[in-house]
Structure 1
Amino acid sequence: MCSSSGPDSTTALLRDILGNESKHVGLLVSERLVNLPPQFAIPVFDCLRKEINEAKKKKMPYDFAYLLLICKVYKLEKKKKKKTVETELWGNPEEEVIAEECKASFEYNVKGQASISGEWDEDDPEYTPYRRVLVLEAARLPEIIAKVKQAVQ
């Protein structure tokens, strides 16, 4: 997806880290129920960090160089005075804070592939669903978690 949707620099980075066996890459899955506030993600992130550290102490293969996080993002484009104004909504607001700290990212449109649930009025604007893939440096996970804590509390 990156080679068709992302910048060349991100594609090159992903090819490098995914093709290099010495750089372990972890897939960070962040799913929480829609109605739970982002504060509920904090203990999960803290627990993840602790579990990775414990596994590394036991010489288990969890010494990640990078983490990949796939985020749900929704976009709305409106034409205003000959300009296109884009509004962006994050499925999990804490991921917007994480995105500010990523090394690289790319996104792709999943319209027709992803379902959007909820009750909508006919005159509500139609947001287009995207997935944004974030490349995070695993060594920075503690400071990223601290920044998320600060932002959501």
Structure 2
Amino acid sequence: MRSEVVKNPPRPKRRRQRLKSWPITFSPFARALALARITMSKRHSQNPTPTLSINKPQHSHSHSSDEDDSSPESSDGVIQADFSFFDPKPHDFHGVKTLLQTYLDNHEWDLSAFVDLILEQTTVGTVVKIEGDEDEGIFALVTALNLYRYREHRCIVTLKDFLLRKARQEKGVADRLRLLLEEQARDVGLLVSQRMLNLPPQLLPHLYAALFDEVSWATEDEPTEELRNSFKFKHYIILSKIYMQKNVDQKRKLSNDSDEAIIYVKPEDEIFHKLSSWSFNFPLQTQQLAPHEASFIILQSQ
């Protein structure tokens, strides 16, 4: 069974002067290279894989896709899926909350208030839905929140306390993290990225491109200098879920091949991890089919 997505014809590009907050992996060249690798891997694979056709990324606040076949399912078993990018809206509350249900493991906190912050920030942030879906289910969310701007919100205070407690499990990490979350908070963006695992991977470069484009535009277009400065991120912090292979020999874990002991729930998080200036891991309490940990990643903006 294959899923097919076709993008709409490009709309007029939004004016912009320069890009300021792009991690190097998400440059236009790197995204094009990533898409080329996906195409090449499919051509050389003998197993059936999802087939998606996506045009050049559109630099606009919303992205949409369109079907080239009005039939919901063609005779060869291809399911037509029309994914679209939207600015977050209040009616997305329940879908976004569902995606973020285990964002802080099983810790009790005001998740509803956290979702409200995300939905209120419409200039930066994207949700992915299927066009015309009456249920309006959310397949993916990506946004970036300035930790200093929202420092007085209880949900952000709880989130920082949660991370600092986890950081104490590794020597010297808590002090380093506290510096980032407090004294340097003006320059730190919490990159929130949650998605359904069956979201077509070909959408991911466009999804992150949309985020970093919007961050760049916000540094120029927000109505006040304070708001413009709040998007001039020097660091991004990311919470990522991973699986650790506990049966790997301890000596191998200490070798240069230790990365082989990590399985990333979202493959794109491996890119973030390799680009990060530092990171730390901590075990999760949520019941899983296999040992499950979270990785806290610090990504330096270029």
Is TM more than 0.5 here?
yes
Q: Where does structure 1 differ by over 4 angstroms across 4 or more consecutive aligned residues?
A: 82-86
Question: Retained in 2: the 8 A contact 1:2–1:106?
Answer: no
Are residues 46 and 89 of structure 1, via their aligned partners in 2, closer, same or farther at CA, if it must alter by over 3 Å?
same
* Superposition map of 1:54-133 within 5 A: 54-58=217-221, 59=225, 60=228, 61-78=230-247, 87-110=261-284, 113-116=285-288, 127-133=290-296
Alpha-carbon deviation of 1:135?
0.6
Any idea what the Cα deviations from partners look like across 1:104-129, whole Å, max 9, x if unmatched? 1011000xx3243xxxxxxxxx5211
Q: Do structure 1's residue 42 and structure 2's residue 205 form an aligned pair?
A: yes
Any idea what the Cα deviations from partners look like across 1:34-73, whole Å, max 9, x if unmatched? 1124332211110111100111013422111211110010
Q: Highest relative contact order (Cα 8 Å, sep 6+), 1 or 2?
A: 1
Instruction: Compare CA radii of gyration and give the structure with the larger one.
Output: 2
User: Structure 1 length normalisation: TM-score?
Assistant: 0.70
Are residues 68 and 22 of structure 1, via their aligned partners in 2, closer, same or farther at CA, if it must alter by over 3 Å?
closer
Q: Distance in 2 between matches of 1:52 and 1:103?
A: 21
**SS class of match (2:235):** strand
Are residues 128 and 23 of structure 1, via their aligned partners in 2, closer, same or farther at CA, if it must alter by over 3 Å?
same
Q: For residue 209 of structure 2, what is the amino acid of its counterpart?
A: D
Q: For residue 3 of structure 1, what is the amino acid of its counterpart?
A: A
Are residues 78 and 34 of structure 1, via their aligned partners in 2, closer, same or farther at CA, if it must alter by over 3 Å?
same
Q: Distance in 1 between matches of 2:248 and 2:274?
A: 27
Q: Distance in 2 between matches of 1:42 and 1:5?
A: 34
* Superposition map of 1:137-152 within 5 A: 137-138=300-301, 140=302
Q: For residue 235 of structure 2, what is the amino acid of its counterpart?
A: Y
Q: Distance in 2 between matches of 1:66 and 1:128?
A: 29
Question: Retained in 2: the 8 A contact 1:27–1:68?
Answer: yes
Are residues 68 and 83 of structure 1, via their aligned partners in 2, closer, same or farther at CA, if it must alter by over 3 Å?
closer
Q: Determine the structure 1 residue equivalent to 2:44.
A: none
Q: Distance in 2 between matches of 1:79 and 1:71?
A: 21
Alpha-carbon deviation of 1:15?
1.6
Q: Choose between structure 1 and 2: higher strand proportion.
A: 1
Where in structure 2 are there 5+ consecutive unaligned residues?
Answer: 1-164, 254-259
Question: Retained in 1: the 8 A contact 2:276–2:297?
Answer: yes
Q: Distance in 1 between matches of 2:220 and 2:248?
A: 54
Q: Distance in 2 between matches of 1:101 and 1:83?
A: 25
Q: Distance in 2 between matches of 1:65 and 1:74?
A: 29
Alpha-carbon deviation of 1:98?
1.2
Are residues 79 and 48 of structure 1, via their aligned partners in 2, closer, same or farther at CA, if it must alter by over 3 Å?
closer
Alpha-carbon deviation of 1:17?
1.9
Alpha-carbon deviation of 1:90?
0.5
Q: Do structure 1's residue 6 and structure 2's residue 170 form an aligned pair?
A: yes
Q: Distance in 1 between matches of 2:248 and 2:295?
A: 24
Question: Retained in 2: the 8 A contact 1:17–1:23?
Answer: no
User: Structure 2 length normalisation: TM-score?
Assistant: 0.38
- The percentage of counterpart residues that share the same residue type is 24
Question: Retained in 2: the 8 A contact 1:24–1:65?
Answer: yes
Where in structure 1 are there 5+ consecutive unaligned residues?
Answer: 117-125, 141-153
Q: For residue 247 of structure 2, what is the amino acid of its counterpart?
A: K
RMSD: 2.5
Q: For residue 232 of structure 2, what is the amino acid of its counterpart?
A: D
